[in-house]
Structure 1
Amino acid sequence: MNPLASERPVAVIGAGAIGLALASALARAGRSITVCGGREPVDHIEITEDGIPETWPVRHVADPVDIAGHTTAIVAVKAHHTAAVADWLRALAHPDATVLVAQNGVEQRERVVPYVGPAHIVPSIVYLNVERTAPGHAILRRVGGLDVALPDDAASAAVAAELNAGKVRTSTKADLKTVAWAKLLSNITANPLTALTGRRVEVMRDPGIERIARRIMTEAVDVGRADGAALTEEHVDRAMHWLQHVPEGSTTSMREDRLAGRPLEYDALTGAVVRAAERHGVEVPANRFVLALLTAIEPEVAA
């Protein structure tokens, strides 16, 4: 490990599947990792890729005051849990902090800025397929040639360099809005349709499910265009191809939450499409139908 790592710790707020994957990359690049809160303290994280596990020690803290001196953080809680980690986020509200927001949807910056204020906010679009198997443990599956997309600015470039050093394939994009809306096409189909059917991502290969998914995506393309994203029908084709060629056994966070009886992250996905559609006067009946179905699912256990 880098001997300076202890002087440059990274706070991980949300040590779920994506949080663990990104934390492991920064640990591989020489950073020390601080895991913030959570029900079960962990003293290490383990990521398994292609059947090969790698492990890194971590420090677990239970009080936001313990990360007051951190200048880098990963925020990877589900979007609907952002307010619940407000105290952790406020500990990073200083101009020297860089906050990598690894959440779904197209409203990442707006979601955290009320809490982190003057910090450098780095929204990210994550393509990794990660399945958390136990506290601190996850299975990583890569899809396509890019793992994380970031904005094209100085703070993002610095994060990208470290992630790349940690073997996460990262790229900065001048038009992150279009990238975010393009990724949303996959999230508003694979997440709800796996959660509603209970099946893994291979369900997207079923002809009937593909037809439904394409209708959902086509509506979202119209909304994204109205919102300023440079989307075309080709983005629908690319998203379907991507979803139909993910590694066998891939799952989604919404399916896993549904099976565990936890609240579902539909508001930041389908909800965001419907909200934008209302702002721009675009009709989205398929997305409204999916939103109604997801809203009707009641969690069985506490979040």
Structure 2
Amino acid sequence: MKEIQTTAIVGMGALGLLYGNQIAAELGTSAVRFIADKDRIKKYREMNFTVNGERRSFPVEDCETAAPADFIIVAVKYNALPAALDTMKHCVGPDTTIISVMNGISSEQIIGERYGHEKVLYSIAQGMDAMKFGAALTYTKFGELRIGVRTPDQADRLKAMTDFLDRAKIAYVAEDDILHRLWGKFMLNVGVNQTCMAYETTYSGTLTPGEAHDTMVGAMREVIALAKAEHVNLTEQDLEDYIRLLETLSPDGMPSMRQDGISHRPSEVEMFAGTVGRMAKKHGLSTPVNDRLYERIKEMEAQYSLCL
């Protein structure tokens, strides 16, 4: 694989801006561009983006005239993935490597079905406490990427990726068992994202003994049972490790799903409790905690239109 020089990012949410800002800071603005349709470009150009209070501007390119990129970061919400696949179509060349920093356990498969599984490296973004409201991104922890391959013939692609991350000074760990890590992050998100939204709380609220904490842990344990049914060996030790990870984040921070709730945007509940419920039925498992979270979050979303 050739050296990665150009990066295209789809999505100017918290993670899109986080990585775009870091790449631009270390490798220059010519190394990174955001890809969008004409309507989004107009919207973005009217926004004054800031990162930790400092004004930032980034190149935004029309998706219809975009050139192939060496590297694509898909940084959108679950509901926006189908549109993102269309947005990035001109950026995908024969040697393009793609990662998704989306939540969940299915985006890599979906992207691979469209553009070729050989182009997609599996990745998890974790340990950051990035929050974005409007055009303002704030964070105290940058976090890290966990990356890996599903097949040995992706080894050269992984080496090109780690060389790029080194140059961009983006922390990462290359995983031997990326599927285990993917499910571990899914377990964490199912617990903390949904609990923070349903209980309208922050990270500290989920770590304080009480109903919210018990709900978070209960939802995570249902994912452990589901993972085992899917032949992925998640354990209580994994749960404890992720709880410790939460303890390193800003106590006043909150995950993207809680930010969606505050902004009255559709959440990713279908990707979390919805996925857990559907997969559990296949294995004859019960998921009462996730079922309750699903109902509560759907009730909250139904109230959005009434608040206008």
Q: Does residue 179 of structure 1 match 2:181?
A: yes
**Which residue of 2 is the match for residue 131 of structure 1?**
131
User: Is contact 2:15–2:101 with CA below 8 Å preserved after alignment?
Assistant: yes
- Structure 1 counterpart of 2:100: 101
Q: Closer, same or farther in 2 for the Cα pair 1:118/1:243, shift >3 Å?
A: closer
Secondary structure (helix, strand or coil) at the match of 1:66 reads coil
Shift, 1:154, TM fit? 3.0
TM-score (norm 1): 0.85
Q: Which position in structure 1 is the counterpart of 2:235?
A: 232
Q: Name 1:271's counterpart in structure 2.
A: 274
Matched, 1:262 2:265: yes
How far is 1:182 from its partner? 1.0
Match of 1:28 in 2: 25
Return the letter of the residue paired with 2:266: P
1:224–1:231 Cα contact (<8 Å) kept: yes
CA distance in 2, matches of 1:274, 1:231: 18
- Name the counterpart of 1:207: 209
CA RMSD of aligned residues (A): 2.6
Structure 1 CA distance for aligned equivalents of residues 156 and 283 of structure 2: 32
Mean Cα displacement is larger for which, 221-230 or 159-168? 159-168
Contact 1:266–1:291 at 8 Å: present in 2 too?
Answer: yes
| Partner in structure 2 of residue 111 of structure 1 | 110
Q: CA deviation at 1:86?
A: 3.0
Name the CA distance, whole Å, in 2 between partners of 1:151 and 1:276.
Answer: 24
Aligned equivalents of 1:45, 1:99: Cα separation in 2: 25
Q: Which moved more, 1:269-278 or 1:254-263?
A: 269-278
Deviation at 1:44?
8.4
1:40 offset after TM fit, Å?
2.2
1:14 is matched with 11
Q: Which amino acid aligns with 2:202?
A: R
* 2:157 is equivalent to residue 192 of structure 1: no
Q: Tell me which moved more, 110-119 or 266-275.
A: 110-119
What letter corresponds to residue 99 of structure 2 in structure 1? L
Q: Deviations over 1:98-142 (max 9, x none)?
A: 11211001112122224323661123111122112443x411232
SS of the residue 1:241 aligns to:
helix
Give the partner amino acid of 1:168: I
User: Cα deviations across residues 247-284 of structure 1 (Å, max 9, x unaligned)?
Assistant: 23211111111111100011222222223222322222
Helix, strand or coil at the partner of 1:218: helix
Distance (whole Å) between structure 2 residues aligned to residue 273 and residue 156 of structure 1 = 30
Distance 1:134 1:294, change over 3 A: closer
**Structure 1 residues 34-43 or 20-29, which shifts more?**
34-43
CA contact (8 A) 2:69 2:92 kept: no
Write the distance in 2 (CA, Å) between the matches of 1:10 and 1:196: 36
Segment drifting more, 69-78 vs 112-121: 112-121
Partner in structure 1 of residue 152 of structure 2: none
- For 1:44 and 1:35, locate their aligned partners in 2 and report how far apart those are by CA, in whole Å: 15
Note the residue ranges of structure 1 that are not aligned, 5 or more in a row: 1-6
- Which residue is equivalent to 1:251? 254
Q: Which has the larger displacement, 89-98 or 16-25?
A: 89-98
Q: TM-score, normalised by structure 2?
A: 0.84
- State the distance in 2 between where 1:181 and 1:36 align: 29
Unaligned runs of 5+ in 2: 150-154
Q: Does residue 47 in structure 1 map to residue 51 in structure 2? A: yes
Q: Deviations over 1:74-114 (max 9, x none)?
A: 11010111112232132244322111211001112122224
- Counterparts of 1:131 and 1:233 in 2: how far apart (Å)? 29
Is 1:290 aligned with 2:282? no
Report the alpha carbon displacement of residue 162 of structure 1 after superposing the two structures with TM. 2.1
Distance 1:45 1:66 in 2: 24
How far apart, in 2, do the equivalents of 1:45 and 1:77 lie? 17
Equivalent pairs, count: 288
Deviations 1:36-84 (A, max 9, x none): 2236224986533xx8x5x6652112x3222232232111010111112
Contact 1:204-1:244 at 8 Å conserved across structures: no
Question: 2:84 and 2:238 mapped to 1: Cα distance?
Answer: 34
CA contact (8 A) 1:125 1:183 kept: yes
Contact kept? 1:101, 1:108, Cα under 8 Å: yes
In terms of fraction of residues, the more helix-rich structure is 2
Deviation of 1:217 after TM superposition, in Å, equals: 1.2
SS at match of 1:73: strand
